[in-house]
Structure formats: C-alpha cells, structure tokens
C-alpha cells in the first residue's frame, strides 16, 4: 500500500493535492461502489459524497498512513449506510413510485403499480431460466452468492455475472419503458 503524507492536503497546496487525489481515486471508488448499488448514477453520487467527506475532514488526514485503504473504507461505510437508509425507506419509496402525481386516484395508483409489477415479471420471464433461478435465489430468497454457487455447483463469480447481467437488463428495460428510476423500483420490489 502507498503511504500518504497528509501535510500536503492541509498546507498551501491543498486544492491541487485534493484534485490529484480526486482524479486518481474517483473512478476506482465509483467502480467499487457500483458493486454494491448496481446503478452507475447512484454510485457516482455516493462517490462524490465520499470525496466531499474527505475534503471536510482533511485535517484528519495527518493521521492517515494508508490513503487508499482509508478512502475505500469511507466509500464502503458510506455506501452501506446509504443502502441501510434506502431499505428502511421502503414505504417512502413505494409512495414515490406509486404517488408521483398528486391528482391521481387510488384506482390509477393501483393500475400503475400493477403495470410496474407486470413489467418486472415480464422482464424476469424473458431472461434465461438459469439466470432467473439465480436471481430468485439471491433476491427473493435472500441467499448469498456463495450459497447459490454451492447449490448450483458453479463458481461465485459465475453467480455474480448472472446477477449483474440480469440487473442490467432489468434496469435498461424498466427505465426505457417507464422512465422511472431503476433504484426506486429495485428497492420496492426486491428488498
């Protein structure tokens, strides 16, 4: 691991040093966060938050010896906190998805929800059976990638690849057909 001289980020070269830090680590942090949230835009927003947090706490960098570890620890903790808040806000997310228009009736809301649900299941039915089974085991039954890999006799990375491809397909089809953020639908249907 690279050691870090925290003095540079709090002296008169702070802006330039922070810019270099941001430039070197922003993309890797985005990729790291995407492994948790599966949505590039959300990952970019969370990565921005991580660097804002680092900037505001830059005086603490004097004590940091391994900068990369420090940055990725902040990224992981911030992402997990975000996911925790999102999972607690399931009811709020449901309201955002269903009640995005103030002058709609309950019947219209129910129809909209059914339409979303039908689209999700239609997309899931269109994926290969093996991917559908893997998705069901991971998302609906809450099994880990390792558990599913063991059940199916394949590697953990094969399970991850199936999940990534399935989530990308869901994201593309749902956002293009409904214009609704995939993250809202994802947390609503698959928490």
pLDDT digits (tens, 9 = 90+) for 94-133: 555 554 444 455 555 567 667 767 777 777 788 888 888 8
User: For residues 54 and 138, what is the distance between their CA atoms, to the nearest angstrom?
Assistant: 34
Looking at the chain, the whole-number percentage of residues with pLDDT higher than 70 is 69
pLDDT tens digit sequence for 36-69: 888 888 889 999 999 999 888 888 877 888 889 9
Closest CA to 38 of 125, 163, 127, 180: 163
User: For residues 156 and 165, what is the distance between their CA atoms, to the nearest angstrom?
Assistant: 14
Question: Residue 33, Cα to own-chain centre: how many angstroms?
Answer: 6
Give 66's strand partners.
3
Domain over 7-88 is classified CATH 1.10.1740.10: yes
Tell me if 7-88 shares its fold with 90-190: no
DSSP state of 15: H
Give ∠ CA 150-82-115 in degrees, rounded to 5.
75
User: For residues 180 and 185, what is the distance between their CA atoms, to the nearest angstrom?
Assistant: 8
Domain extent listing, the chain: 7-88, 90-190
User: For residues 20 and 26, what is the distance between their CA atoms, to the nearest angstrom?
Assistant: 10
Q: Residue 46 has what pLDDT? A: 93
| Predicted structure pTM score | 0.45
pLDDT tens digit sequence for 63-94: 888 889 999 999 999 998 888 777 665 554 55
Structural fold of domain 90-190: Arc Repressor Mutant, subunit A (1.10.10)
Encoding tokens for residue 97? 């998805």
Q: What phi, psi does 10 have (nearest 5°)?
A: -115, 0
């Amino acid at each position: 691991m690279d050691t870090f001289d925290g003095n540079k980020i709090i002296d008169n070269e702070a802006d330039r040093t922070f810019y270099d830090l941001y430039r070197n680590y922003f993309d890797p942090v985005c990729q790291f966060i995407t492994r948790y949230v599966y949505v590039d835009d959300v990952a970019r927003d969370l990565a921005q938050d991580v660097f804002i947090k680092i900037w505001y706490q830059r005086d603490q960098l004097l004590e940091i010896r391994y900068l990369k570890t420090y940055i990725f620890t902040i990224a992981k903790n911030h992402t997990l906190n975000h996911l925790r808040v999102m999972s607690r806000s399931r009811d709020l997310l449901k309201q955002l998805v269903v009640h995005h228009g103030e002058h709609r009736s309950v019947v219209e809301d129910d129809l909209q929800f059914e339409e979303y649900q039908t689209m999700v299941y239609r997309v899931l039915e269109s994926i290969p059976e093996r991917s559908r089974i893997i998705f069901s085991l991971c998302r609906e039954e809450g099994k880990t990638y390792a558990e599913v890999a063991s059940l199916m006799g394949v590697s953990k990375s094969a399970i991850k690849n199936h999940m990534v491809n399935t989530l990308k397909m869901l994201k593309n089809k749902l956002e293009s057909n409904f214009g609704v953020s995939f993250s809202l639908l994802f947390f609503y249907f698959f928490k």
